[in-house]
Structure 1
Amino acid sequence: MKKHKILLFWSLFLLVLLAGCSPILSNKENKFVKGADIGWLQQMEATGFKFYDDKGVEQDCFKILTDHGINTIRLRTWVNPSADKINGHNRKEEMVAMAVRAQKWGMRVMINFHYSDTWADPGHQIKPAAWEGHDFPHLLQDVYNYTYEVMSALKKAGIKPEWVQVGNETSGGMIYPEGSVSNWPQLAQLINKGYDAIKAVSPSSKVILHLDQGNNNKRFRNWFDNAKVHGAKFDVIGLSYYTYWLPGNPDYTFSIDDLGNNMNDMVARYGKEVMVVEVGGEDTKPQNTYDMLVAVQQKVKAVLEGKGLGVIYWEPQGARSWSKYPLSAWGDDGKPSQAMDAFLVK
């Protein structure tokens, strides 16, 4: 009888021990993404910008983000960027250093390949200068080699990104002119070279394809129908949602249902997970931005089949006094605005 009690004791002890250890990873994997894209942070710090918590105490920006519920960091990588504090940096070495720092803070990591020397978005998809003059087969190899090199540097540093974007806001394509949507067969090949390089180094990383205007279902259907027809490979559909950049700057209440409906349609139509990988609201309207962020998170959580992964704010810490950017969630006093409290809402 005593022997059975001893065995029972040790069995229970082992279960408790395992319960205290193994779920840390699984809980992390299953946690709803509450993220921040912070590509400017290194230069903000290097140029002397100070960050303060809600009480006015100077803190590491990562601690302030963590205290506001942020669990994921998104980082961009540019091929050969300039030294401009706003429009440069984010080279491989800088990005890897930030990924290491994020991981030390317990953050999940997303990497965003722009395939340019600077911003890539619907208005700018400029080919890296070092790739100019290359014929298409060479360009395909450029994409693979660069992606593989960056992913290998992350792996060497002990970083395994959970998500990796091939291109940024690629509604018109990427790496112009060869990767324009006017030539979908070539665009799909470029996407797949990025996909293959990512999976060669980090098979578990999920590859995201990302468009702007997340409330625009017609835009998303047309693009991803073409992606499917031409065999572009991906795991997650990423959406940007900025009402500020829509014609007339309408309030989010006019388009939030369209965002939710579009995400559900993407899941039903393509069977993929979805994530709002960029969002932002006006820094001068913190209450409205707070309300918008709560609403966006609710829409993502309500996505069909539980395939809504989360929400990432683009440069929340990028205070206007430093960046001239009007959509941060930070004050010129170095403190987070009320908007950041939205990530604390359950």
Structure 2
Amino acid sequence: MKNILRALPLLMVLAACKKDDTPATPVTPVAEPGYYRGADLSFSPELVAANVGFTDNGQRSTPLATLKRHGGNLVRLRLWHTPTDGHSGLAEVAAFARQAKQAGLSVLLDIHYADSWTDPSQQPTPRAWQNLSYSALQDSVYGYTRRVLRVMKAQQAQPALVQIGNEVNGGMLWPQGRVSSAADYAKLAPLLQKGLAAVADENAGLTQPMRTIIHFAGAEYAVNFFEALAQRGVQPDVLGLSYYPQFHGKDLDQWQQWLTTLVQQTNRDVLLCETAYPFSLGYADYTHNSLGLSSQLIPDYSATPAGQQAYLSEVNRRLKALPGGHGLGFCYWAPDWVAWRGPTATNGSGWENQALYDFNLKALPAWSAFAE
């Protein structure tokens, strides 16, 4: 009986996933590319369901189809534990990941270990885990990660890359896994290790094992962060980074040097999990944008379609130039998060001027960087 009860969450999620049409034919496996050119399309299931009118070269086209058409080969998807509206929950993520794989794209699964957003400023513990002891919390990370991956496999949506936590600069699963001082890494490391171990155990027997990622926002202190984890036995396959010039520095030469030092000291692949740049400083709705000032720009890259394209091309070029071919690629964050609720929305997008669609929902020139 105990084993049956433990299996119920997995069975319930599988049933939810199967509400949409499971493909009649298996998803054909594809060889993993040596360099990723990806996009985080976590908003796409909601936007496509709302029939948002994205266009590319004058024709209606979903962001997934546009990414594929322009040479992209990776879709990144965030996963929330128990989201209040179901978006970014496991059923939605598994179904969309399957669509991406049917299109011949690889999938990066970004497990947040939270019910909503996580980043350096917030790492809330899922409601279902909030009263757990530290030991039980570790067990939950391991068991949950394995269940998620089993559901993904069952839905023919197995990811190529699995991210254990999102921008975990200050730890994860606060307050128990919070990092406020060097001593706190002793509490973060076992939580990350449980996630890594779950992926390793699910890799048993796979011809294409899933690679693990630990994700840090920025680059300046990345060496210290990953060294602190390595000293405690945390060794992901790939080092994930975010780079937003307004937060992480506007000197691309300095940014490249930080990455070079990281590669030289760790001898590991680096994936830029998140980046973005504006094509405008304007607004398309009444929601405050996270970037809207000229002082937030890199001087040589204007907030224009051409400037956005030049930025993404340059970031791509610098990643490819990292020593030993350790630049694994990039993911553009939320190219689809447009102002879809209308111009007067106060609960719309805070990102529409950094999307890869203009305010008329037309694909912008920066999509061409995915073929470079």
* TM-score, normalisation: structure 1: 0.85
- Alignment partners' CA distance in 2, 1:30 and 1:105: 14
Letter in structure 1 aligned against 2:51? G
CA RMSD across the alignment: 1.7
| 5+ long unaligned stretches in structure 1 | 1-23
2:252 is matched with 256
- Alignment partners' CA distance in 2, 1:283 and 1:201: 41
Residues 110 and 164, structure 1, Cα contact 8 Å, conserved in 2: yes
1:202 CA drift (Å): 2.7
1:273 CA drift (Å): 0.6
2:213 is matched with 208
Secondary structure at the counterpart of residue 163 of structure 2: strand
1:229 is matched with 231
1:124 equivalenced with 2:101 (yes/no): no
- Alignment partners' CA distance in 2, 1:64 and 1:160: 22
Moved more, 177-186 or 308-317: 177-186
Residues 95 and 157, structure 2, Cα contact 8 Å, conserved in 1: no
- Alignment partners' CA distance in 2, 1:321 and 1:43: 11
Letter in structure 2 aligned against 1:46? A
1:331 is matched with 358
Secondary structure at the counterpart of residue 158 of structure 2: coil
1:25 CA drift (Å): 7.3
- Alignment partners' CA distance in 1, 2:29 and 2:310: 31
- Alignment partners' CA distance in 2, 1:245 and 1:270: 24
1:160 is matched with 158
1:76 equivalenced with 2:72 (yes/no): no
1:181-228 residue CA offsets vs partner (Å, 9 max, x unmatched) = 2321110000010001112113511110111113x2xx1122112101
1:186 is matched with 187
1:6 is matched with none
1:159 CA drift (Å): 2.8
1:113 CA drift (Å): 0.6
- Alignment partners' CA distance in 1, 2:52 and 2:119: 27
1:321 CA drift (Å): 4.2
Secondary structure at the counterpart of residue 161 of structure 1: coil
Q: Percent identity?
A: 31
1:42 equivalenced with 2:45 (yes/no): yes
Residues 279 and 307, structure 2, Cα contact 8 Å, conserved in 1: no
Moved more, 93-102 or 278-287: 278-287
Secondary structure at the counterpart of residue 168 of structure 1: coil
Moved more, 41-50 or 304-313: 41-50
1:272 equivalenced with 2:264 (yes/no): no
Moved more, 150-159 or 119-128: 150-159
1:303 is matched with 322
- Alignment partners' CA distance in 2, 1:220 and 1:38: 25
Residues 320 and 331, structure 1, Cα contact 8 Å, conserved in 2: no
- Alignment partners' CA distance in 2, 1:124 and 1:174: 8
1:291 equivalenced with 2:289 (yes/no): no
1:228-276 residue CA offsets vs partner (Å, 9 max, x unmatched) = 1111131110111111335xxx7xxx42122221222122111211111
- Alignment partners' CA distance in 1, 2:174 and 2:228: 18
Moved more, 44-53 or 110-119: 44-53
2:196 is matched with 195
1:305 CA drift (Å): 0.8
Letter in structure 2 aligned against 1:324? G
2:371 is matched with 344
Secondary structure at the counterpart of residue 152 of structure 1: helix
- Alignment partners' CA distance in 2, 1:102 and 1:93: 15
Structure with max Cα Rg:
1
Secondary structure at the counterpart of residue 320 of structure 1: coil
- Alignment partners' CA distance in 2, 1:300 and 1:41: 26
Moved more, 333-342 or 67-76: 333-342
Matches within 5 A, 1:19-168: 28-54=31-57, 56-83=58-85, 89-168=87-166
1:343 CA drift (Å): 1.9
- Alignment partners' CA distance in 2, 1:324 and 1:180: 27
Matches within 5 A, 1:169-180: 169-180=167-178
Runs ≥4 residues deviating over 6 A: none
* TM-score, normalisation: structure 2: 0.79
Secondary structure at the counterpart of residue 90 of structure 1: coil
- Alignment partners' CA distance in 1, 2:202 and 2:268: 22
Secondary structure at the counterpart of residue 227 of structure 2: helix
